[in-house]
Structure 1
Amino acid sequence: MDGDPVSASFLLLAALLQIDWAILQVYLLESIILILLLFSSAMISGSEVAFFSLTQKELEICKDSTKVTDKAILRLLDNQKMLLATILLLNNLVNVAIVVISTYMMWQIAGKDNQGWIVVFVTMLVTAAIVFFGEVIPKVVARQRMLSFARKMSRPMLFLASSLRPFAWLLAFLGDYLERRLKKNKQRARISVEDLNQALEITTQDEASDEARNILKGVINFGQITAKQIMTSRMDMTAASLKTPYLEMVKLIRESGYSRIPIYEDTLDNVVGILYAKDLLLHLEHDNHFDWTKLIKPNPLRIPEYKKINEVFKQFQSTHIHLGIVVDEYGGTSGLVTLEDVIEEIVGDINDEFDDEEEKLFNRINETNYIFEAKIPLNDFCRVIGLDLSLIESVRGESETLGGLLLELFEKMPIKGEQVSFAPLHFVVESVDKTRIRRVRVRIEHQKAEKYQSQDAE
């Protein structure tokens, strides 16, 4: 041993640190084990990205190849749930081993009397090492060389998958069980709404109960409708700029008939408050120099597009605010929704003495023919003609109004007189302008409607 320079160096280090040579050898062995475990953690984490991110082209290369590694990749991907369970199991076992060995090493070095700070120090150090060296770096490398990484790990992973099959199977089984339970509960909730609607149709057949039936339908579907489906769209909103002169503001409120007006700064995407018409009553004698902006109620209620209206209703109740600005995912203004809009989903249209008959969104000509304003929400459109909204789900796309549905059906901006059919409905465009459809004639073919509804019930 005297002639071995490496051993001599470790003996010198042990002498300087006043550590027994045998103990230093133990530390050295434990350090090597930790490095190997960290390397194993990196390779396992990289395998997860490499195997599950292979493109179709790379999989075709493996299918056409005669290499043992490529065949191993295909065998592993034949049962992806077992592969994923094996990777997760191995990763957790290796990471636990790293924590245990590193903590034991620190106890050996610092003594068991300092357990508190040892645990904190080791936890921080090991977590940083595992995240950086065992997760981030290998996944970045594996994503850049997916096929090459998968080939290197295919045979070791195939051996480990076979060795740990009972444990991986148990983990995969538990995952499948939980997934089935969640799907079953979700399907049960969805079916229950459909069953209630069907039961309602069966038990309320007489015409005298139409109003009651519509109210009950509104109650059943109340939690399924989003704010976007019932809102007044951005194009149809009545709003005013902060720079609007006072007398113009008074004129706007008088002509619109609305009791609340959204106020924006610069653009409609920046609604800064709501002006209540009643707040202007005490100031009607003022001229254009009056600063009406001090009457604005700031911080308007903002409602996400896909928030359910039962939650919107609760929000209106808790805040005592009855108008909200509907915003999209980027925070832009999509439209507005009021408490009246929400309640109408249960009780039907509410008309008061201030409602203008010219603003009526539809006109029933006879039992099968209607004239609709294209801006009517699809939810209201289906309710008026007595048609299940699910019948047009396949063609509506992202549209929420009748005009949007027609754009999906025509796949262009139609001209006046153009026609299109989507059983059991036949549409004729009555009026358009340069930017949107305004009025549509709708004919309902009842025989087709009954046929489609019966198919849907089946």
Structure 2
Amino acid sequence: MVVVGVALCLLVLAFTSSVDAAFINISRHRLNTLLAEGQSRARVVSRLMNDPYRFKATIILLNVGATIAATAFTLYLAGPGGVWWQLGGLVLLLVAILVLSEALPKALVLRNPDATALRLARPISMLTALLWPLIWLLDHTVAPFTRMISGKNGTDTPLVTEEELRTLMNVGEEEGLIEHEEREMIEGIFSFGDTLAREVMVPRVNIVSLDADDTLDTALALVIDRGHSRIPVYRETIDQVVGLLYAKDLLAALRDGVRDIALERLVRPAYYVPETMKVDALLRDLQARKVHMAIIVDEYGGTAGLVTIEDLIEEIVGEIQDEYDTEERLVQTVADGELLVDALVPIADLNELTGIEISSDESDRIGGFVYERLGRVPTVGDVVELHGISIEVLSVQGLRPRQLRIRYQPQLALEISSAGEEAEKPNDEPT
């Protein structure tokens, strides 16, 4: 009878190992398909997976109980032989557990985890119900210590963290399971919810716009020249956007022979959002309102820039270009450690590309960083020198830098702070 008891304990351990392996490796797609077909066992599996704490608690209780019982039976069986027999019995029990109750069941389950999960769903569900008092007692015993240590209930802990997903993603790329572009897209999704509208917007100085007093012919020429389907229309200054001119509305008016109508009569209402709005919320709003463009306003109510649905999607899938777009190379490699950079390149993108670490509390783009360091309007030839990195202004447009030359030491980890350093510039006249 004692031998039978040990064998039953090994069977229980093999059962829990099989259940655990099956539920971990089951195909979510297959499970969803079975749920859609109304498969009753699939509903049991889904219910267990949606309550992982009770499911895991059942596995733990069965494992602990079976292990204790098997150990007791083994010690009782080997007791007459003395300590050495008992020690030998425990070693044999350990080997039996590892081989017969762990390795072998899991190897068999991995051949078809979906079928195994469906087959074992009802038994483990019944055991979960039978062990409910012990699970409740375990929960109320452990929960206070969990809250004391982590400050929250253990049942609220996510099954998979973002860091774990990133690690799996990197391993998948290294092993060739996912392409580099796919990994970049997933990274874009992770960072999407943390990105602000001001980080992806077209700055106000780059907005293509029309004055409300412009003629329809002027508007048509701008649409043809720039290829935009929506253009902001302002009165007096870009801070007073009165609406958006749709190219299709303009073409319809011209087709009907209407050329003397005021441009403001054709505009549609603009959608305004603060520059601190998260882009995931902005995308949902644009979809809900069925609009493709939003005007970004700063804390003073002035126009900071604009953003389109395409800009938001590009944060996930990368640059989107159609057959009419002219490709602009924002970053050009001149030599190892030397780049020509558009001043509108985001600092975060430049850091990722070069491996340097530029940080600024005030600016999101490298041109703004240069402006911040100089403390005045940049001119051609100005240079910012910091920790072995040289940022030279090659051209300006109006009051802002347009193109920069960056020289740095490749492979060197650098950290540049926007505070506490003085910028140097050649040809400065003494004050």
TM value normalised by structure 1: 0.51
Find the counterpart in structure 1 of residue 252 from structure 2.
282
Find the counterpart in structure 1 of residue 338 from structure 2.
369
Change in 2 beyond 3 A, CA 1:314/1:253: same
Is 2:405 aligned against 1:441? yes
For 1:252 and 1:424, locate their aligned partners in 2 and report how far apart those are by CA, in whole Å. Answer: 44
Find the counterpart in structure 1 of residue 373 from structure 2.
409
Q: 1:329 aligns with which of 287, 294, 299?
A: 299
Instruction: Provide Cα deviations, 1:262-313, integer angstroms capped at 9, x if missing partner.
Output: 1122322221211111222233354741344332112x11111111111111
Is the CA contact 1:246–1:289 (under 8 Å) kept in the aligned structure 2?
Answer: yes
Instruction: Provide Cα deviations, 1:401-446, integer angstroms capped at 9, x if missing partner.
Output: 2100112333444443343344585422221255111101224533
Q: 1:398 aligns with which of 362, 368, 372?
A: 362
For 1:346 and 1:181, locate their aligned partners in 2 and report how far apart those are by CA, in whole Å. Answer: 34
SS state at 1:279 partner: helix
Is the CA contact 2:294–2:308 (under 8 Å) kept in the aligned structure 1?
Answer: yes
For 2:408 and 2:188, locate their aligned partners in 1 and report how far apart those are by CA, in whole Å. Answer: 22
For 1:321 and 1:375, locate their aligned partners in 2 and report how far apart those are by CA, in whole Å. Answer: 26
For 2:382 and 2:262, locate their aligned partners in 1 and report how far apart those are by CA, in whole Å. Answer: 50
Is the CA contact 2:389–2:409 (under 8 Å) kept in the aligned structure 1?
Answer: yes
For 1:230 and 1:401, locate their aligned partners in 2 and report how far apart those are by CA, in whole Å. Answer: 10
For 1:441 and 1:194, locate their aligned partners in 2 and report how far apart those are by CA, in whole Å. Answer: 35
SS state at 1:306 partner: coil
Aligned-residue offset at 1:203: 4.8
Is the CA contact 1:326–1:337 (under 8 Å) kept in the aligned structure 2?
Answer: yes
For 1:205 and 1:406, locate their aligned partners in 2 and report how far apart those are by CA, in whole Å. Answer: 37
Is the CA contact 1:229–1:379 (under 8 Å) kept in the aligned structure 2?
Answer: no
Is 2:319 aligned against 1:355? no
Find the counterpart in structure 1 of residue 211 from structure 2.
241
Change in 2 beyond 3 A, CA 1:236/1:205: same
**Unaligned stretches of 5+ residues in structure 2:** 1-146, 416-431
Is the CA contact 1:368–1:443 (under 8 Å) kept in the aligned structure 2?
Answer: yes
Identity of aligned residues (%): 33
Is the CA contact 2:331–2:340 (under 8 Å) kept in the aligned structure 1?
Answer: yes
**Unaligned stretches of 5+ residues in structure 1:** 1-176, 183-187, 453-458
Runs of 4 or more, structure 1, over 4 Å off, are: 192-203, 205-208, 421-425
SS state at 2:242 partner: strand
Structure possessing the higher radius of gyration over alpha carbons: 1
For 1:193 and 1:411, locate their aligned partners in 2 and report how far apart those are by CA, in whole Å. Answer: 39
For 1:344 and 1:425, locate their aligned partners in 2 and report how far apart those are by CA, in whole Å. Answer: 30
For 2:204 and 2:383, locate their aligned partners in 1 and report how far apart those are by CA, in whole Å. Answer: 27
Aligned-residue offset at 1:364: 3.5
Pairing 1:378-389 to 2, within 5 Å after superposition? 378-382=347-351, 385=353, 387=355
For 2:395 and 2:167, locate their aligned partners in 1 and report how far apart those are by CA, in whole Å. Answer: 37
TM value normalised by structure 2: 0.54
Find the counterpart in structure 2 of residue 231 from structure 1.
201
Q: Which of the pair is proportionally richer in helix?
A: 1
Pairing 1:52-451 to 2, within 5 Å after superposition? 181=151, 197=166, 200-201=169-170, 203-205=172-174, 209-284=179-254, 286=257, 288-298=259-269, 300-357=270-327, 359-365=328-334, 368-382=337-351, 385=353, 387=355, 391-393=357-359, 396-422=360-386, 425-433=389-397, 435-449=399-413
For 1:423 and 1:310, locate their aligned partners in 2 and report how far apart those are by CA, in whole Å. Answer: 36
For 2:183 and 2:389, locate their aligned partners in 1 and report how far apart those are by CA, in whole Å. Answer: 23
Change in 2 beyond 3 A, CA 1:283/1:382: farther
